Chain A
Amino acid sequence: MASDRTASETTEFDVHTDEMLINMGPQHPSTHGVLRLALRTDGEVVTEVTSHIGYLHRCAEKIGENLTPRQFLPYTDRLDYLAGMNMNLGWALCVEKLLGRQVSEKTRHLRVIVCELSRIASHLVAAGCYGLDLGSFTPFMWTFREREKILNLFEEVCGARLTYSYITVGGVTADVPSGWLGRCEEFLDQFEPVIADLHALLTSNAIFIHRTAALGVMEPAMAIDYGCTGPVLRGSGVDWDLRRDGEPILTGMYEGYTWQVIAATNGQYPQDHPYPPVPSAAVLGDSWHRYFVRMLEVVQSVSLVRQAIEKYSRAGGVVDPPIALKQKLPKGEAYLETEAPKGQMGFMIISDGSPVPWRVRIRSSSFCNLSVLPELCRGVLVADVPSIVGSLDLVLGEIDR
């Protein structure tokens, strides 16, 4: 078991061999994309990890300097391509902050519906792929089966299954088709029992616990120092979520909703949930906790979608259309971070008064979450590196931009 590994008890840690440099990636399945890790190893023990990124670099920021905000929107889909809706939202809210615009009630609730569905889809991929990294195939199939249903719902609202460009500057591209909300609720009804199945497969699975508990432990201070955010930060027990603690333009979107930020305080998770208890081997801030926080957040998102459907149905009026394609921007600068599934996604727009921004900046959450990897991987076994990388839930499209 991970927590029992001490230098004196484990042969791997006792035997010293010649130092070896091992290349992991960029085509390694458990690096979740084109990430290359250079591992300096002593036998089975990793002494140093160096990350090499940039294989997907497209200089999205330079592209943003040459397009109007609405033209740039499809490029935001391709940052964190597992949660395109949340990327659209981050960019749309940032430009709206510069424009000083507020969307209608109906638009606000519609945005909550699609963003939280997108969060569920992203966390499902995170959990499923994490199981796959550790040799468990079934959860991967089950989570992708559920995610497929969310993608079907998204396809109905905007025609795309991955790169939506649905939430756009000023509003959304179109209202939902008739009967869509009902199908959305049907999905939630059948999905809720499945969450318990996933917990049964992974959360309390002895092998899974052995591969994740007490591994890659991150102290809260270290997480904050490296700028780690999202489930990676909350897995260390820091009670922080921008949907509650962020800027008014984002928290206003979630005003009137009842939900909880998932973070363990004193080793206890706040809500009463029917899911497996924290195993005794797990240590706050380890890979297991990062995974568990995501699984509990899925339940919160389901509740948020239900509330949003109800609020959307009651809200009068119509959804807001997008701004003009080449609308002039006011001179100024706006920076905004939103709570994306993988962490705090920041966008910045600097405008000189013309329709095309002078500068666009993208602060990637996975970029910061990855930067802490050398600290987490010091002195672990080679086989544990994929387990730690998987627990960070990285998307390289967002890291490389």
Chain B
Amino acid sequence: MNAQSIHARLADRFGPSLAAQDVEALDPWIEVKAEGLLDVCRYLRQEPDLAFDMLHCITGVDYFEADPKKAAVDPHLELIYHLSSMRHRHRLVLKVRVPRWREDKPGQLPEVPSLSGIWSTADWHEREVFDLSGVCFVGHRELRRILCPEDWVGHPLRKDYQMPAEYHGIPAR
């Protein structure tokens, strides 16, 4: 199935859960609201003619510009899911947009439902996105840091992240 017909299928069934889409992009993507993500993904995985059996990658992108001299960007976090079906040889890119902080309170991580129950790849990838981009995946069985040490402070891939001056007496800068 090509991107257009997959997007049309999703729009038909999950219309209110979808936020935006772009079929003209290099990798056509469709944006899903966080609260509808689980239903959409279960459908993508289970429907025989969609059969998205592989989750390749989860990416967290921070949109934030601290420097007032540069062009302002609308502050938010974006999650990008790359899916494919080996059986049908088609691909899909899902996006989820969340605020940088829950209820705009710095330190409160935004929440997105975990997909680790649908694709096992999501288990480690969600831990990585939590670790580096600071997103809380609700329903993940063991959401702890994976690449940084467990007592590390902050999320390095946030655009306003400040590298600590030292870590356990080791100068870091």
Contacts and interface: CB of A to CB of B under 8 A. Distances in A.
Interface of A: 53-54, 57, 59, 61-62, 97-98, 222, 224-227, 238, 240, 245, 332-335, 337, 344, 346, 348, 350, 352, 358-359, 361, 363, 367-368, 371-372, 400-401
Interface stretch (B1-9, B97-105, B106-114, B143-151): B143-151
B22 to A, nearest CB: 10
Contacts of B93: 335
A346 B55 CA distance: 12
A238, A352, A400: residue with the most chain B Cβ atoms closer than 10 Å: A352
Contacts of B147: 53-54, 57, 59, 400-401
B155 to A, nearest CB: 11
A61 B62 CA distance: 12
Interface string B50-78: 00011111010110000000000100000
Contact of B82 (A61, A240, A335, A400): A335
Nearest to A58: B147
Contacts of B29: 333
Interface stretch (B13-21, B30-38, B115-123): B115-123
Given A54-B147, A98-B26, 8 more contacts: A59-B132, A227-B55, A240-B86, A245-B89, A332-B26, A361-B57, A363-B56, A367-B124
9 contacts: A53-B147, A62-B156, A225-B53, A226-B120, A227-B121, A332-B25, A335-B80, A359-B62, A372-B120
B27 to A, nearest CB: 5
A368 B124 contact: yes
B124 A333 contact: no
Contacts of B153: none
Contact of A225 (B56, B120, B148, B156): B120
Interface of B: 25-27, 29, 53-57, 59, 61-62, 73, 80, 82, 86, 89, 93, 119-121, 123-124, 132, 145-149, 156-157
Nearest to B53: A224
Contacts of B157: 59, 61-62, 359
A335 B95 CA distance: 13
A225 B119 contact: yes
B146 A53 contact: yes
Nearest to B71: A352
Query: Sorted from nearest, which 9 A-B pairs have the closest CB atoms?
Result: A227-B121, A363-B57, A54-B147, A57-B147, A361-B59, A371-B124, A225-B120, A226-B120, A359-B61
Nearest to B26: A334
Contact of B27 (A61, A62, A333, A368): A333
A332 B22 CA distance: 12
Contacts of A59: 132, 147, 156-157
Contacts of B123: 371
